[in-house]
Amino acid sequence: MSDDTDSKTRILTVIERIEEPGDILRVKLAAPDGAALPAFTAGAHIDIRLSAGDTGLWRQYSLCSDPAQAQGQAGHYEIGVLRDPNSRGGSVAFHRLAAPGGSFTVEGPRNHFELAEDARRTVLFGGGIGITPMLAMAWRLHALNRDFTLHYCTRSERATAFRDTIATAPWGHRVVFHHDDLPQAQRLDPARDLPEPDAGTHLYVCGPQGFMDWVIGAAKTAGHAPANIHREYFSAQVDSTGEGFEVTASRSGVTVSVGPEDTIAKALARAGISIPVKCEEGVCGTCVTDVLDGTPDHRDQFLTDEERAEGSMICVCCSRARSKSLVLDI
């Protein structure tokens, strides 16, 4: 995981709104004065604040365009957002607010889904809206003249966004489409479509949680090293409840009780210790905090298996404690 590419908050304007199939909205964002935007690397995302009445929701959206397009005068960022009526309201609000000429408060770009640019072979798996970071990766891998394949899975051809973009891209021939309404032989088959495990082969997976768990599980079973299986969750079904425990903020000298229905972040906030929280589902990494003592009960989808095993970090928006108490470096 990389550090933030840029942590500055800025206002960006919607310069183009494109309705894609599958209820996906493609939006281009630029500085109001046309100034150059901070460069981003493939796999990066931006945080967008969505105003809803008196509250503000922060949501994370992967940058899907060629990373080179952000640089220079009149550069822009491009994202794709699925309108999901079953979400917590962020995607619906974005579709409503993203009118040409409208503006958003934006932070980033940040990259927790870095591309291993020196890999001998790269295989990308995008499910539904999970195609967005894969498009930026495809642009970058093409620029580097690397060997790669992109598997794009959707419900049907009619619900497949970005087809025009892929059709005209110089790397479009590297994309394999899989649709749920096609015959079984044309759907994604991990036994057939996963490459042979190799130290120089890297896999990238993004999409709905069930899709990701399926592909990642198959990759591990096939013998791919966990360090070579990269994933980014847009959202996750998380159960943040459990037995109560205590949390001590070592630098602040404050100890709080975290109840069965509580979260560490909320308990600390009531005691005057604020930790930035954005996704509240353990997928964005904003709230990751160092653990000095105690055993975390990881409920997130952000930390790697190795980081979880170390037990030195925790996502305080959703994770809990296996021990009676935790001591955090805050």
Residue positions counted in the chain: 330
Weakest mean pLDDT among 9-18, 223-232, 304-313: 304-313
List the CATH code of the domain at 245-328: 3.10.20.30
CATH 2.50.20.10 fits 9-110, yes or no: no
Give pLDDT tens digits for 166-223: 999 999 999 999 999 988 889 999 999 999 999 999 999 999 989 999 999 999 999 9
**pLDDT grade for 281, boundaries at 50, 70 and 90:** confident
Q: Determine what percent of the chain is predicted with pLDDT higher than 90.
A: 75
Query: What pLDDT score does 34 carry?
Result: 87
Query: What pLDDT score does 239 carry?
Result: 86
Q: What is the pTM of this model?
A: 0.83
Contact by Cβ (8 Å): 232, 112: yes
Report the C-alpha gap between 325 and 305 in whole angstroms: 22
Same fold? 121-233, 245-328:
no
Residue type, 123: V
CATH 3.60.15.10 fits 121-233, yes or no: no
| Residues paired with 326 in a beta bridge | 247
Per-domain residue ranges of the chain: 9-110, 121-233, 245-328
Query: What pLDDT score does 6 carry?
Result: 55
DSSP-based three-state secondary structure for 250: coil
Task: Provide DSSP, 8-33.
Answer: -EEEEEEEEEEEETTTEEEEEEE-TT
Contacts of 262 (CB under 8 A, 6+ apart): 244
Query: What pLDDT score does 87 carry?
Result: 67
Give pLDDT tens digits for 92-147: 889 999 999 999 999 999 998 999 999 999 999 999 999 999 999 999 999 999 99
Look-up of token digits 């959202």: 235
Q: Which structure tokens are listed for 175?
A: 């994309």
